[in-house]
Amino acid sequence: MSTELGTLQQQSGSLIGDRLVKKSVAAVKLGISLRTVDRLIQKGVLEKVFVGSSPRLRLSQLDRLVERGS
């Protein structure tokens, strides 16, 4: 079953179960301002996901940015 889930995750292009964090947490993790987080969202570098009406960001995307040094 885990193989099927991995295949589904790869095909969908999203990570099921990926942790979502607030923009303020993203800003601290990346060492940037909230305004810069908003700019990264506007440029499409970060994908905003809504939980109800609350915007959240994928922790995996933040981790990739930190790894790249961007």
Cα–Cα dist 60/63, whole Å: 5
Domain residue ranges in the chain = 2-68
Distance from C-alpha of 6 to C-alpha of 21, rounded to nearest angstrom: 23
Q: What pLDDT is attached to residue 14?
A: 53
pTM score of the predicted model: 0.71
Residue 68: CB atoms within 10 Å: 7
Examine the pLDDT at 66 and tell me if it is beyond 80.
Answer: yes
Among residues 70, 28, 16, which one has the least CA distance to residue 46?
A: 70
**59 or 18: which leads in pLDDT:** 59
- The answer to whether residue 59 scores a pLDDT higher than 90 is yes
Report whether pLDDT(30) > 60: yes
